[in-house]
Structure 1
Amino acid sequence: MNKHLLLVEDDDAIAQALGLHLEQAGFRLHREADGRHAMAAIDRQRWDLVLLDLMLPGADGWEVCRHLRERHADVPVIMLTARSAEAHRVLGLELGADDYLAKPFSMLELVARIRALFRRIEQLSAASPASHALRFGPFRLDTVRRELLRDDQAVPLTLREFDLLHFLLKHPGRPFSRGELLQRVWGAGFDGYEHTVNSHINRLRSRIEDDPREPRRVVTVWGVGYRFDLEPAP
């Protein structure tokens, strides 16, 4: 697979175990044990995926995640969190993390989650040419480059924001509950929170709505969830 991963983890024993299993799975791995050093590594190059512990010296995982999103919005992020820190996981997901695993976790499960994220990207890129570009209003969603353009100007999206918009665009006019969106976009194995969908919807609205407070494309269907309107009401 030859993907180059950045591991941000201050626990030497966990980092050593992760390095062994991930390299055996065919990934290249670079580790940083400090949040400030991790941000410098993000500035130096683009990584294929970031594995991010939240409790770090120097700068915490939330600050590292913000820094990454400002520079590389679409790089996948998997958070590594303490099992009891539910509020931490929620905040990390709301900042744009794509998945999380609670410690202690199975190394096989981690490898499976990483491969699942890469498969989502590859499946979209391998879609039929007719589905490579989806248009609405002044926007064009390019599934090969995995980018959203507005009048030929790139609009930054995280991996999950891109997947959510792509899914809604493929089903215009159909309302989906938050639970359905979690299953269809995040995946059946994602043990997430329905209000995580709300956070991603709000960020998506800030990218594509003229007035996110009065959305006309990603609209709320009261008592159900959300719907995407290709032809918004005036």
Structure 2
Amino acid sequence: MSRTPHILIVEDDREIATLVSRFLRSHDFRVRTVPHGREMDIALRDGRFDLIVLDLMLPGEDGLSLCRRLRNDGSIPIIMLTAKGEDIDRILGLEMGADDYLVKPFNPRELLARIRAVLRRVGVAQTLDSAESTMLAFAGWRLDKAVRRLFNPQGERVALTGAELDLLLAFCERPRRVLSRDQLLDLTQGRAAAPFERSIDVLVSRLRQKMEPNPREPELIQTIRSGGYMFSPEIQSLPQGGSAQTEAQPQVMDG
């Protein structure tokens, strides 16, 4: 039996918090609302949440700082709310680790669609067929698709946000192919959410910081001029109880 998703809304505007919480509850979500970071911390200690809707402008510690703290502590999906429509604010939110963003004023149905999209991306990877290989290996790294965890060549877990992991999976499933930003947006976010194209560059930069020995001279995720990006390592499939099997490599195609 599936569990009802639990959403935490961090929003100091009582009217918005009430409107959003009622709307989400009417669509079968469990919801808790808090007005600032201190109560967010208490809520996270008290219960388990599947996603956080986090306002940028909050009293006390602001949303960007809270987002950074949440990312340091775990990988719970985050959707950022902001009254600012400037690109720099969106980029900052993504760089701090937000999985998506929404500019105020917004239609609650759009927020619902984005919440469902983020939860779907997380949930799909957790319901793989048992016969399917769930472990991928490349350049000494291991990516466990079933539990959505990445391990470096030293065997240490490397924390990734949901959006970062979605992008890495898209690369690993299409190695040595040139993928345009539009293709990567479709593969990781879908067009229904009208994502911000610059977000792919931000996510690639974040992955490089976590995975490349020298992010300024990347070896794993290569930039292809006028094309997009290409994931260069050979990918191996590691089925449970089996030996490594090299994935068939598709031909390089234009982005």
Matches within 5 A, 1:178-197: 178-197=181-200
State the percentage of identical aligned residues: 41
When the two chains are superposed, the root-mean-square deviation of aligned CA atoms in Å is 1.9
Deviation at 1:43, TM superposition (A): 5.3
Deviation at 1:84, TM superposition (A): 3.5
What's the CA shift string for 1:104-161, capped at 9, x where partnerless? 2222222222112111122222234433111112211111111111243211000010
- Listed as ranges, the gaps of 5+ residues in structure 1 are none
| 43 and 199 in structure 1: CA distance in 2 versus 1, 3 angstrom threshold | farther
Q: Distance in 1 between matches of 2:86 and 2:120?
A: 29
Which of 8, 11, 19 is the matching residue for 1:9?
11
Deviation at 1:205, TM superposition (A): 1.1
Q: Which has the higher helix share?
A: 1
Q: Distance in 2 between matches of 1:187 and 1:204?
A: 20
Q: Which amino acid aligns with 2:160?
A: L
Q: Which amino acid aligns with 1:171?
A: R
Partner in structure 2 of residue 63 of structure 1: 65
Deviation at 1:198, TM superposition (A): 1.4
State TM-score, norm by structure 1: 0.91
Partner in structure 2 of residue 172 of structure 1: 175
Q: Distance in 2 between matches of 1:173 and 1:84?
A: 36
CA contact (8 A) 1:39 1:68 kept: no
Matches within 5 A, 1:99-110: 99-110=100-111
CA contact (8 A) 1:167 1:185 kept: yes
* Matched positions, count: 231
Partner in structure 1 of residue 35 of structure 2: 33
CA contact (8 A) 1:82 1:103 kept: yes
Partner in structure 1 of residue 92 of structure 2: 91
Matches within 5 A, 1:81-160: 81-82=82-83, 84-128=85-129, 129-150=131-152, 151-160=154-163
CA contact (8 A) 1:39 1:64 kept: no
Q: Distance in 2 between matches of 1:182 and 1:226?
A: 12
Deviation at 1:203, TM superposition (A): 1.1
Q: Distance in 2 between matches of 1:115 and 1:192?
A: 15
Match of 1:30, SS? strand
The structure showing larger relative contact order (alpha-carbon pairs under 8 Å, at least 6 residues apart) is 2
CA contact (8 A) 2:125 2:147 kept: no
- Listed as ranges, the gaps of 5+ residues in structure 2 are 236-255
What's the CA shift string for 1:53-83, capped at 9, x where partnerless? 10110111101100100001x2111111225
